[in-house]
Structure 1
Amino acid sequence: MSSRADRLVVALALSSGPLLSLGLARFAYALLLPEMRADLGWTWSQAGALNTANAAGYLVGALVTAPMARRVGTGRSFVLGALVCTAALLLTALTGEYAVLLVARTAAGVGGAWAFLLGAALVAAAGEAGAPARSALLLGLYYGGAGGGMTVAGLLVPWLLDRAPQGAAGLQAWQLGWVALAALGALATLVAALAVRATDDPEPPRAEEHRSWDRGRVAWLSAGYTFFGLGYIAYLTFVIAFLQQQGVGLRTVAAFWVVVGVAASAGWFVWGSLIGRLGGARAMQVLMVILAAGTVLPVLLPQNWAFFVSGAVVGGTFLSVVTAMTVGVRRVLPPGLWTSGLAFATVAFGVGQTVGPWLTGWFSDVLGSLGAGLVLSGVLLVAGAVVALPQREPPPRPV
Structure 2
Amino acid sequence: MTASISLQRYKVLLAGIFSQLLCVGVARFAYTPLLPVMQGDGLLNDAEGGWLAAFNYAGYMLGAVLAASTGSLALKDKLYRAGLLLAVVTTLGMALTESVWLWALLRFLAGLSSSASMLLASGLILHWLIEHKRRRELGIHFAGLGLGIVLAALAVEGLLSLSIDWRGQWLWLTALGALLVVPAWRWLPSPKKPAASAAPRPATTRPVSMIFLRLMVPAYFCAGYGYVVNATFLVTIVEREPLLAGTGNWAFALVGLSAALTVVIWDFVARRLGYLGALGLAMAIQVVGIWLPLWSTSLAALLLSAVLYGGTFLGCVCLVLTMAGRLYPDNPARLMGQLTLAYGAAQIIAPAVTGTLAEAVGDYRLGLWLAGALVALGAVILLILKRVDHTAQGLDAEARAL
Q: TM-score range by the shorter chain?
A: 0.7 to 0.9
Are the aligned partners of 1:52 and 1:358 in contact in 2 as well (CA < 8 Å)?
yes
- 1:237 is aligned, of 220, 232, 235, to 232
Are the aligned partners of 2:270 and 2:399 in contact in 1 as well (CA < 8 Å)?
no
- Name the CA shift for 1:363/1:190 in 2 (closer, same or farther; >3 Å): same
Residue identity opposite 1:184 in structure 2: L
1:74 partnered with 2:73: no
- Name the CA shift for 1:344/1:102 in 2 (closer, same or farther; >3 Å): same
Pairs within 5 Å for 1:79-118: 79-118=81-120
SS of the equivalent of 1:189 reads helix
- 2:143 and 2:73 map into 1 onto residues whose CA distance is 29
Aligned to 2:376: 382
1:351 partnered with 2:345: yes
Are the aligned partners of 2:236 and 2:248 in contact in 1 as well (CA < 8 Å)?
no
SS of the equivalent of 2:259 reads helix
Are the aligned partners of 1:280 and 1:326 in contact in 2 as well (CA < 8 Å)?
no
Are the aligned partners of 2:26 and 2:148 in contact in 1 as well (CA < 8 Å)?
yes
Aligned to 1:310: 305
Aligned to 1:146: 145
Are the aligned partners of 1:48 and 1:361 in contact in 2 as well (CA < 8 Å)?
yes
Are the aligned partners of 2:125 and 2:188 in contact in 1 as well (CA < 8 Å)?
no
1:290 partnered with 2:296: no
Are the aligned partners of 1:30 and 1:239 in contact in 2 as well (CA < 8 Å)?
yes
Pairs within 5 Å for 1:1-399: 7-70=9-72, 72-127=74-129, 135=136, 138-165=137-164, 173-197=165-189, 216=210, 218-248=213-243, 251-335=246-330, 337-389=331-383, 390=385, 392=392, 393-394=394-395, 395-396=398-399, 398-399=401-402
Offset of residue 21 of structure 1: 2.8
Residue identity opposite 2:81 in structure 1: V
- 1:201 and 1:106 map into 2 onto residues whose CA distance is 32
- 2:382 and 2:32 map into 1 onto residues whose CA distance is 29
CA offsets 1:299-327 (integer angstroms, 9 cap, x no match): 21110011111111111221111111111
- Name the CA shift for 1:279/1:118 in 2 (closer, same or farther; >3 Å): farther
How many aligned residue pairs are there? 381
CA offsets 1:192-241 (integer angstroms, 9 cap, x no match): 212321766899xx9xx9xxx98956553333222111111111211111
Residue identity opposite 2:270 in structure 1: I
Are the aligned partners of 1:10 and 1:195 in contact in 2 as well (CA < 8 Å)?
yes
Moved more, 256-265 or 193-202: 193-202
Gap runs ≥5 in structure 1: 166-172
Q: What is the TM-score when the length of structure 2 is the normalising length?
A: 0.85
Gap runs ≥5 in structure 2: 386-390
**C-alpha root-mean-square deviation of aligned residues, in Å?**
3.0
- 1:215 and 1:100 map into 2 onto residues whose CA distance is 44
- 1:24 and 1:193 map into 2 onto residues whose CA distance is 16
- 2:355 and 2:374 map into 1 onto residues whose CA distance is 15
- Name the CA shift for 1:397/1:75 in 2 (closer, same or farther; >3 Å): farther
Are the aligned partners of 1:22 and 1:149 in contact in 2 as well (CA < 8 Å)?
yes
Offset of residue 378 of structure 1: 0.9
Please identify the structure whose Cα radius of gyration is greater.
2
CA offsets 1:71-120 (integer angstroms, 9 cap, x no match): 85222222222221221111112111100000000000112123311122
Offset of residue 183 of structure 1: 2.2
- Name the CA shift for 1:118/1:5 in 2 (closer, same or farther; >3 Å): same
Aligned to 1:169: none
Are the aligned partners of 2:256 and 2:310 in contact in 1 as well (CA < 8 Å)?
yes
- 1:187 and 1:340 map into 2 onto residues whose CA distance is 35
- 1:397 and 1:98 map into 2 onto residues whose CA distance is 50
- 1:202 and 1:48 map into 2 onto residues whose CA distance is 45
Are the aligned partners of 2:25 and 2:149 in contact in 1 as well (CA < 8 Å)?
yes
Aligned to 2:388: none
- Name the CA shift for 1:375/1:63 in 2 (closer, same or farther; >3 Å): same
- Name the CA shift for 1:202/1:303 in 2 (closer, same or farther; >3 Å): farther
Q: What is the TM-score when the length of structure 1 is the normalising length?
A: 0.86
Residue identity opposite 1:16 in structure 2: F
- 2:336 and 2:8 map into 1 onto residues whose CA distance is 25
Residue identity opposite 1:54 in structure 2: N
SS of the equivalent of 2:399 reads coil
Offset of residue 262 of structure 1: 1.3
